[in-house]
Amino acid sequence: MKIALVTGATAGFGLAICKTLISAGYKVIGTGRRAERLSALQAELGEHFLPLAFDVSNLQQTEQALNNRPNEWKNVDLLVNNAGLALGLEPAHQAELSDWYQMIDTNIKGLVSVTRLILPEMVARNSGHIINLGSIAGNYPYPGGNVYGGTKAFIKQFSLNLRADLAGTAIRVSNVEPGLCGGTEFSNVRFKGDDEKAAKLYENVQYVSPEDIANIVLWLNQQPPHVNINRIEVMPTAQTFSPLAVNRELVIK
């Protein structure tokens, strides 16, 4: 039985990924800060699910939780680095510095901490797959994307650089780069509990769902071991591109 470790299992993509992987016959370690949600998930999913409650931005907690896994949950075959968040949509000169730091601590430092702790066991076995959750925000700039997009661009380049370091091994690395996805808490978190504003974003649009993302994660891992999908960008069919902005009133003297 393959063992997967999914960070951010208490909501959204991570929750759907855990359920999809368990249905496909994996054993899954699910993580997140909200221990009560993880316990409820364990009651629902049974013995093939191991809850580990910790904050990925706290290195001590992360090391403690991952290094003290029961022996039968060692040797992770699939690491899904999904835990992450956006905070705020203000322009750079108005954004909260504390929000920027939290995104960096979670999306960048948390992701690299978990990766650094799990990767040696993959290298020792010359086997494994790391699937990171990037975003289209790491590929295309948009107003208010500032540090969030920066963290996702980091994840894209870190994923490719991991491939470079793992040359000659059988370990695979993929970056999933979704666009507009509903059915998660992403925008409720970004808009700090303004659920009405969050809901508006998903009105009258067929967005990508957490189950769609979970199926992509499963599909990536189900490719034959000699096939590595480096990056996969996914948008709703209803989401496309706008022309670049040109301001015709701006006169600089």
Catalytic residue positions, numbered:
148
Q: Which is nearer to ligand 8X3, 13 or 26 (CB)?
A: 13
CA dist., res. 4 & res. 17, Å (int): 10
Crossing angle of helices 12-23 and 210-222, rounded to 10° = 50
Q: Locate tokens 């009105």: which residue?
A: 203
32 belongs to the binding site for ligand NDP (CB under 6 A)? yes
Task: Identify the residue among 57, 115, 146, 174 touching ligand NDP (CB under 6 A).
Answer: 57
Which span (31-39, 72-80, 164-172, 242-250) binds ligand NDP, by CB under 6 A?
31-39
Output the smallest distance, CB 182 to ligand NDP, in A: 7
Contact between 63 and ligand NDP per CB under 6 A: no
> Pick from 82, 132, 135, 175: which binds ligand 8X3 (CB under 6 A)?
135
Binding partner at 33 among ligand NDP, ligand 8X3, none, C-beta below 5 to 8 Å by kind: ligand NDP
For residue 155, state whether it binds ligand 8X3 (rule: CB under 6 A): no
Q: Contact with ligand 8X3 (CB under 6 A): which of 136, 176, 208, 217?
A: 136
Kindly indicate which of the ranges 32-40, 65-73, 122-130, 224-232 contains the residues binding ligand NDP, using the contact rule CB under 6 A.
32-40
Give the integer Cα–Cα distance in Å for 77 and 27: 10
Which spans of this chain sit near ligand 8X3 (rule: CB under 6 A)? 135-137, 145, 179
Which spans of this chain sit near ligand NDP (rule: CB under 6 A)? 8-14, 32-34, 55-57, 82-85, 106, 110, 133, 135, 178, 180-181, 184-186, 189
